[in-house]
Amino acid sequence: MAVTTSPYASDALPEGTVDVVVIGGGAAGLNGALMLARSRRSVVVIDSGSPRNAPAEAMHGFIVLDGTPPPEILRRGREQVRRYGGRVVFGEVASSESAAPATDGDLRFTVTLADGRSMSARRVLVATGLKDVLPKVPGLAEHWGRGVVHCPYCHGWEVRDEPIGILATGPASIGHAFLFRQLTEDLTFFAQGTDLDEATRARFAARGIRIVDTPVQEVVNNEDGTIAGVRLADGHVVARSVLAVATRMEARTEGLEGLKLPMQDLPDNMGRGFASGMAGTTEVPGVWVAGNATDLAAQVGASAAAGALAGARINSVLATADTDAALAAAQGVTPAL
């Protein structure tokens, strides 16, 4: 469910045109904004307050910050962006689109929020992240981020040596199983219709991975609400305390349709995100993307790094545009629109 009230003090939306609007206040968006603000760019982050890792108790796999609760990381990030003059505005983007160029020929974009407020920016960094789409198995979603995990690097250590079940979603779950086998000797693969050839079954057998071909009907809970196991279509219950699911990952695109950004698909129907090139460039002039919105498998550290690269590149492009405009003005040239 989308957050309707701000979980933190929101800055005022500025008047006039800013250098960059960053859509998304996660690791990628905040790190991109940090780079831009430190370069004395006017930058506004629009944050819906609904990060992907909100259900997780802690973030792992990022040196120095390993074990830090996600809300704390974002709190520090907002504080640091603001330290250099950047703004973080709570809100949901309803629409974003190209606008008429400025009198000097530079690009302009208009971003409108769900509450009707709008702003103008010279460049746009999309860092909206993604949504994890879980299989429609009753009882599964309520354990997401705790008893139901997806990433062996993000959550694996915390579930080591537990009885783990791989709830297959397709061919990608086969590789998923071998990664989780590194973490426990008690691993069961619930095929859920995934086609396993004899070679794969032999490899599973060699690693002691049990295969269950009978479909899973529902997740069964203990009295304290934790996972007890799964009930199969034939009524049998297989005891498990953790379920690992390779989710389908879909970039958050709400409010971005007007930018007409191209999309790309992951193999095996595992996800769909924005297409991008080096440092987050896109086919749409003036628009960059960073983090999970384009790199669906990126963890927090990789997303933050991608935001930094995109921010640096945007600043470089703006520096060139500023110089072109200054030279045209010095020479008395009227730019062609």
pLDDT digits (tens, 9 = 90+) for 45-56: 999 988 777 777
Residue partners of 324: CB distance under 8 A and separation at least 6:
none
User: What's the average model confidence in pLDDT over 64-76?
Assistant: 91
Residue 289 one-letter amino acid: V
Task: For residues 199-207, give the mean pLDDT.
Answer: 98
Please give the single-letter amino acid code of residue 271. Answer: G
d(Cα 320, Cα 315) in Å, to the nearest integer? 9
Asked if 10 contacts 89 with a C-beta cutoff of 8 angstroms, the reply is yes
Confidence of residue 104 (pLDDT cuts 50, 70, 90): confident
Query: For 281, which DSSP code?
Result: B
Length of the chain equals 337
Cα–Cα distances in angstroms (integers) from residue 46 to residues 10, 29, 126, 132, in the given order: 10, 9, 10, 21
Q: What is the pLDDT of residue 336?
A: 55
Residue 145's Cα: distance from chain center in Å? 15
pLDDT at 2 over 50: no
Q: Which of 316, 278, 312 is nearest to 295 (CA)?
A: 278
pLDDT at 1 over 50: no
Identify the weakest region by mean pLDDT among 58-67, 100-109, 112-121: 58-67
Is pLDDT of 162 > 70?
yes
What band does 4 get if pLDDT is binned at 50, 70 and 90?
A: low
* Dihedral angle sign, alpha carbons of residues 234, 185, 169, 61: positive
Report long-range pairs for 198-202 (Cβ below 8 Å, ≥24 apart): 200/174
Q: Which residues, 6 or more positions from 291, have their beta carbon under 8 angstroms from its beta carbon?
A: 24, 26, 27, 28, 29, 127, 129, 298, 303, 304, 306, 307
CA distance 53 to 69: 9
Beta strands 237-239; 227-232: pairing state: antiparallel
- The pLDDT score that the predictor gives to residue 335 is 55
What does the alpha-carbon distance between residue 274 and residue 102 come to, in Å, rounded to a whole number? 27
Q: Which amino acid is at 135?
A: P
The pLDDT assigned to 276 comes to: 96
Answer for the pair 256, 242: CB distance below 8 angstroms, yes or no: no
What distance in Å separates the CA atoms of residue 119 and residue 21, rounded to the nearest whole number?
A: 9
Which domains, and CATH codes, for the chain? 17-131+248-330 (3.50.50.60), 135-244 (3.50.50.60)
Task: Indicate whether this model's pTM tops 0.85.
Answer: yes
Provide CB contacts within 8 A for 270, sequence distance 6+.
Answer: 169, 170, 172, 246, 248, 249, 296
Reported as a single tens digit per residue, the pLDDT across 240-291 is: 999 999 999 999 999 999 999 999 998 888 899 999 999 999 999 999 999 9
How far is it, in rounded angstroms, from Cα 240 to Cα 147? 10
User: What sign for the dihedral angle of Cα 77, 83, 84, 87?
Assistant: positive
Percentage of the residues of the chain whose pLDDT score is greater than 90: 85
For the stretch 15-69, pLDDT in tens is 999 999 999 999 999 999 999 999 999 999 999 988 777 777 888 888 888 989 9
Calpha distance 78→97 (Å, rounded)? 25
Residue-averaged pLDDT of the chain: 94
